[in-house]
Amino acid sequence: MKEITRYIVLIALILFNSVASAQSNANELAQNSNEIIDSIYSKSLHSYQQFWVKYPDNYNPKSKIKYPVVYLLDGFSLKSNLEIVYDNYWGHYMPHMILVGISNRTNRTRDLTISKVESNRGSPMQTDSGGAETFVAFIEEELIPQINKTHRTTNYRTLIGHSYAGLFTIHTLIHHPHLFTNYIAIDPSIEWDNQKLLKEAKSKLKSNSFDGKGLFVALAAEQLHMQNASVTMDNIMEDTSEYSLFARSIVEFSQFANSQKQNKLNFSWKVYPEDLHGTVPLPAMRDGLIELFKWYQFKAPQTYNNPESSVELLQTLLDNQEKIYAKNFGYKVPPMIEELFNGYGYMNLQMGQPEKAYLFFNKAISYYPESANAYDAMADYYIDQKDKIKAIEFVEKAFAISGNSYYKEKLDALKK
């Protein structure tokens, strides 16, 4: 029998944002890596493009559950940043998701910039540029179909890019908004080619609808001017030098985007006064994902934890949560991740409230019918209720799903 206090701790870890390791399907995943590195030959780019895919901890190869996807540009250099954020904040702040990192280690400037230029910031360009549309075609026509074909994904996608990749991210939103639901542009190079994208964006943001789309922009402001420390956020728009153009372009874009309420874009931006261009990806990924998934955040945890809450009230809360998720995802989603269903079930079982425990355990089976762990939890409920026949029935279901020796040993012990 699983130790009850383990699930109470799990709830606390998820609700209070500490690092939590998913427990469901742990046995099924033990023999499977949750991360792969792969490549695809791109007809658009005439080269192989490398990428990595990381599954959420609860990923069960035998399940039919599908997941939203986060696509990270510069995926190999920024991989640890995204992993740190995701591993710390899934559950309460964001859903289980599949993470995909796209390599931009070769032809980065060519693939991520939006126009061909001969010079940049007064210096001749030493590399090719202006291939963003071709790279968009690679993502839309080759990479996304490949990811969807080989992994269990939904069409709810998020794109994250930093610097040139941030420029590319906003370009994709402005010109190809259908590709992703959320966009996170971190210190984006909007000054590129005499602010070409800034001018295009002002027109598009003013005239087009971006209903259902979200954009978070981050600006690293520790060094706004390379040679003049007196330039701050308070006076940066008064400076006209080339050295502040990068930051001024981000500010101008963000202020304009923030003023265009009629286009229904879910827009927000944040200034990081103590971060440099190279350090801002980590906090910006955290804030961007939390902001764009604000609607996902678990509602009324105190009510779930309150022993005075009735079964009827808890059912109402779950129904409301499910409606919120369906509205935002565009498809039906369980109102809780499996770990929380089990956690609240065991918590109520320990508190002597079996009706509530049954509610959560039964919901877990209803929403995650292919999870051996869900049936095993219900078996523990029946063990607590002194109903050995029903307990054996549910352990047998867990064993039939997984074939894991843990459930076989549990069955033998119960039958004795």
In a domain, 20, yes or no: no
In a domain, 1, yes or no: no
Residue with tokens 């087009």: 208
C-alpha atoms less than 13 angstroms from C-alpha of 371 in its C-beta half-sphere: 26
Task: Out of 271, 296, 321, pick the residue that ends a domain.
Answer: 296
Task: Out of 296, 317, 338, pick the residue that ends a domain.
Answer: 296
- Residue 39's domain comprises 32-296
Domain containing residue 262: CATH number: 3.40.50.1820
77 shares a domain with 217: yes
pLDDT reported for residue 16? 39
318 shares a domain with 186: no
Rounded to whole angstroms, the Cα distance separating 190 from 124 reads 19
Tokens, residue 83: 């992993």
Which residues, in sequence order, are bridge partners of residue 42?
A: 47
| pTM of the predicted structure, to 2 decimals | 0.89
Task: Out of 296, 313, 346, pick the residue that ends a domain.
Answer: 296
Please name which of 30, 54, 23, 63 lies closest in space to residue 337, comparing C-alpha atoms.
23
In a domain, 15, yes or no: no
363 shares a domain with 268: no
In a domain, 23, yes or no: no
Do residues 374 and 368 touch, judged by C-beta distance below 8 A?
yes
In a domain, 24, yes or no: no
Please name which of 343, 413, 333, 336 lies closest in space to residue 373, comparing C-alpha atoms.
343
Q: Could you list the pLDDT tens digit for every one of the 416 residues in the chain? A: 444 444 444 444 434 333 333 333 333 333 347 899 999 999 999 999 999 999 998 887 778 889 999 999 999 999 999 999 999 999 889 999 999 999 999 999 999 999 999 877 677 877 899 999 999 999 999 999 999 999 999 999 999 999 999 999 999 999 999 999 999 999 999 999 999 999 999 999 999 999 999 999 999 988 887 888 888 888 888 888 888 899 999 999 999 999 999 999 999 999 999 999 999 999 999 999 999 999 999 888 899 999 999 999 999 999 999 999 999 999 999 999 999 999 999 999 999 999 999 999 999 999 999 999 999 999 999 999 999 999 999 999 999 999 999 999 999 999 88
Q: How many domains does the chain have?
A: 2
Determine the number of helices (DSSP H) and then strands (DSSP E) in the chain. Answer: 17, 10
132 shares a domain with 108: yes
346 shares a domain with 312: yes
In a domain, 9, yes or no: no
Do residues 404 and 372 touch, judged by C-beta distance below 8 A?
yes
In a domain, 18, yes or no: no
269 shares a domain with 200: yes
305 shares a domain with 181: no
